[in-house]
Chain A
Amino acid sequence: MSEFAMLLTSILTITLRAGTSLTYATLGEIYTERTGILNLGVEGMMLTSAVSAFAISYYTGNPWLGVLVAMLAGGILATIHAFLTVTMRANQVVSGLSITLFGTGLSSFLGERLGPESNGGNLVGLIGPRFSPVVIPWLSDIPVLGALFRQDVMTYILYLVIPIAALYLYKTRNGLNLRAVGESPQTADAMGISVTRTRYIYTILGGVMIGLGGAHLSLSYAPGWSENITGGRGWIVIPLVIFAMWNPWRAVLGAVLFGGINAVQFRLQADGTRIPAAYLNMAPYIITIVVLVVMTWWETLSHRTGAPAALGKAYMREDK
């Protein structure tokens, strides 16, 4: 293999590793937003699920139990968000923010409290079970694209989840209903679809997927627990959904873009660049702003938007 092909392979490998948690969370958020509920609690949900996943797999020795608990943690926080925004009609932005603030505090509390006595109750710095890359024979020998088959099992599952998520959204009755709720709750209501129930279901499902993203961070990407392990990934998910134009297929693009930035950063640092590390680390955040500006500008120019029409609005039968 040429040197260039090897470089590409290594960048793609890191891209996929870094992009997995982002893609899970982006898919989850797409489903939630498609029903008209904006969930800004992603960061807090990813943190809480990452710490619970690590704690459970550390004590049981079984990372799958960790994944399960992470899904549960994401689902519970999403249920709170659904209750506040759907049932209590609270402002969706503020509710999401408070879920993030709560989740951030809770995760650092749990991280300092759930650890073993020998480590002062701390989970930081411990080594637990993890999902290691599983190299698939033959396929992994393909030049460059072989990187697709040198991933951990959660990434392989993601390869299945993406098409399922897209087909469910576009080709099934349930998918049609949930899109209807996000576009025009009044019409959906008149058609006999329960707006409340739909929004609850997919907000919680979204939380479960976000939980999977958190689990991947502490069980494979990091692996381990450290405070604020997400480094803002939960926030980057929100513009990624816009970038994907609420389409599950395109969720991959954004995650690859941001995973790719991570990979390039990683390579540059490994090669001993003269650019200060801080400036390299700013790249994802600056690019997020640029992506937002470009997407917003493009939407204004082309007079089209991918956003569900009822996104961010509480629904009441009386107000029309």
Chain B
Amino acid sequence: MRVLLEKRRSVSRKAIVLVPVASFLVSLILGGILLAISGANPFTTYAAMITGAVGSGYGITEVLVKAVPLMLTGLGVGLAFQMRFWNIGAEGQLTMGGVAAAGVALFWSQSLPPWTILPLAILMGCVAGALWAFIPAFLKAILKVDETLTTLMMNYIAILYSEHLYYIAWRAEGYNSGTARFPEFAWLPQFAGRANIALFFALIIAVVLWFVFKYTRWGFELKIIGENETAARYLGINIARNIMVALIVSGAISGLAGASEVLGLSHRLQQGLSVGYGYTAIIIAWMSQLNPLAIPFVATLMAILLVGGDQIQMKMRLPASVGLVLQGMLLLPMLAGSIFNEYDIKLQKRSSSEAEQSPEEVQA
């Protein structure tokens, strides 16, 4: 008996749905084992996480609150991943978006009419995120500098810069950290609990991106670049320009996430802007198989894990990082399972005629 791998012509439709679902179950089981080893009952822990996250009105609005930055950064990195551009800098792009939006809300309010501040703050948040993504994109497009590392290094720089601002440069008098509160006209309207209208921005962007990838030439070009760069070049696609344009959009979406965090939730620039959404976004984009319509759902699932983690910290005195461990585990079975998307796996009994020469050996 031997295992044969045959490359599939097209990606298996069944596997696209089954693999993420199975991965989720496997990571729950693995997480349960980890919980049990560390002396916590996995069943009561999971039950507490779920009821904590979706068992009350407060929990549900908190899930929505956390889902927004996850959706936006997930959509942002997903766009870059379409081209196999490994933008792992969503965290820094989000942070710079928050910084720029805070700057507008704090310092432009005195000189500009109040009604312009909120749109300008959102816009500048997007611009800052776009700029932060553009630097690695430019280095990649022009000089072929590896983007995985540059986007990541930009995260550390952005986070240190934001810390400098809220601890020193922009710190409000009388506080240890954090800027002054923004004027109320710079706040994003909330509709339920702390959930604010940024949720609708995220959903609209998801639909727009889905449309772009399904129906436009640009979306098609990005996909071709991701699937086969050589083919893209033969088709006359300008790869350098596409990288730069796509990353400007990708960074702007993550920048919007940062802007909505400060304008919609904290109403000031303070610690807690950068809490790792940009990294979770990588898991979300990959779990969604880069499908923009799937991203909001997966992001909500991740938000449930995060809120659930916070809840068990309060109720069961278990570390909130249980949520992070579960998230981190999600991709591992998912990656192992991705082989089913691209290959047909066949078990073959060795018949007497094949005993000498198996098909693989014939080809080799």
Contacts and interface: CB of A to CB of B under 8 A. Distances in A.
Interface stretch (B179-187, B216-224, B249-257, B317-325): B317-325
B124 to A, nearest CB: 21
B5 A282 contact: no
B68 interface: no
B146 A109 contact: no
A197 interface: no
B153 A105 contact: no
A88 B328 CA distance: 19
| Most chain A CB atoms below 10 A, which of B34, B146, B152, B360 | B152
Contact of B146 (A91, A101, A296): A296
Interface string B259-276: 000000000000000000
Contacts of B343: 89
Nearest to B313: A112
B168 interface: yes
A91 B331 CA distance: 12
Interface stretch (B58-66, B155-163, B197-205): B155-163
A319 B34 CA distance: 39
Given A108-B324, A292-B146, A296-B143, A88 B364 contact: no
B335 A95 contact: yes
Contacts of A219: none
Interface in B112-166: 139, 143-146, 148-150, 152-154, 156-157, 160-161, 163-164
A282 B156 contact: yes
A2 interface: no
A22 interface: no
Given A90-B339, A94-B286, A97-B282, A278 B156 contact: no
Given A285-B157, A300-B143, A318-B360, A105 B149 contact: no
Interface string A240-259: 00100000000000000000
A281 interface: yes
A238 B342 CA distance: 29
Q: Report which residue of B5, B282, B331 has the largest number of chain A beta carbons within 10 angstroms of its beta carbon.
A: B331
Contacts of B331: 94, 97-98, 101-102
Interface in B327-364: 327-329, 331-332, 334-336, 338-339, 342-343, 360, 363-364
A293 interface: yes
Contact residues on A (Cβ < 8 Å of other chain), bracket: 35 or more
A103 B4 CA distance: 33
A242 B167 CA distance: 36
A232 B58 CA distance: 36
Interface string A61-83: 00000000000000000001001
A170 interface: no
Contacts of A89: 339, 342-343
Given A101-B279, A278-B164, A296 B150 contact: no
A32 to B, nearest CB: 16
A165 interface: no
B327 A83 contact: no
Given A94-B335, A235-B152, A292-B150, A105 B328 contact: yes
Nearest to A84: B335
A101 B5 contact: no
A104 B145 contact: no
Contacts of A278: 160-161, 163-164, 167-168
24 contacts: A84-B335, A90-B339, A91-B335, A98-B328, A98-B332, A98-B334, A98-B335, A101-B283, A104-B324, A104-B328, A105-B325, A105-B328, A108-B321, A109-B38, A113-B38, A189-B364, A242-B146, A285-B157, A289-B149, A293-B139, A296-B146, A317-B364, A318-B5, A319-B7
Given A105-B321, A278-B167, A318-B7, 8 more contacts: A80-B332, A89-B342, A90-B339, A95-B335, A97-B86, A98-B286, A109-B322, A114-B38
Interface of B: 5, 7, 34, 38, 86, 88, 139, 143-146, 148-150, 152-154, 156-157, 160-161, 163-164, 167-168, 279-280, 282-283, 286, 317-319, 321-322, 324-329, 331-332, 334-336, 338-339, 342-343, 360, 363-364
